[in-house]
Amino acid sequence: MKIFKFSILILFIAACNAPQAVYDYDQEVNFDQYSTYQLFPDFRTGLSQLDESRLTESLVSALPQKGFSKGDADPDIYVNVYTEQYQQDNRSRVGVGFGGGGGNVGVGVSGGIPVGQMDTYLRLTFDFIDVEKDILVWQAVVESPFKFDADPKSKQEQFNKIVAEAMEGYPPKK
């Protein structure tokens, strides 16, 4: 029984730290027609040059698993990614309270004091743009906790997880 409780706790903690994605797509599009891709000509993610190359490496290795090949001359799809960084309260608090009472009346006041720093999150938006029609046909928005001061290997692993979560929704299930 102790192992079961411990397993549930580990799963809960892991689920809170995993990237989460939201997908949107054009319902009129036949996604079977797309087989070649290129990165958008003006591909700028907003990340550092090293992090952008890590993200690109993850993306380039994930796209063939979805049936894409790199199209040099005339691709079917442009892939664009842009990022947004934000900070969110880490919700760790130390509670402080005091109160008093007498007879049938009681009064109390309490509050939480934040502990630690704000958590940094990265929101990546993946756009698939039909080259011929010049329209957005598929989009994934992935939010994930991200440590910019992590070592390069950890960053690459995090980008791999983010890209895998984004590509999970392609092609869309109609």
Each residue's pLDDT tens digit, 51-87: 999 999 999 999 999 999 998 788 999 999 999 988 7
101 - beta bridge partners?
106
Q: What is the pLDDT of residues 83-131, one digit of tens each?
A: 998 876 655 555 666 667 777 777 766 666 655 566 788 999 999 999 9
pLDDT of amino acid 118: 66
In CATH, 19-27+35-87+119-174 is 3.30.160.670 = yes
Ordered by start, the domain boundaries in the chain are 19-27+35-87+119-174
Q: What is the pLDDT of residues 132-157, one digit of tens each?
A: 999 999 999 999 998 888 999 999 99
Calculate mean pLDDT across residues 44-53. 92
pLDDT of amino acid 11: 42
Q: What is the DSSP string of 14-27?
A: HHHHS-EEEEEE-T
Residue 44 has pLDDT above 50, yes or no: yes
pLDDT of amino acid 167: 95
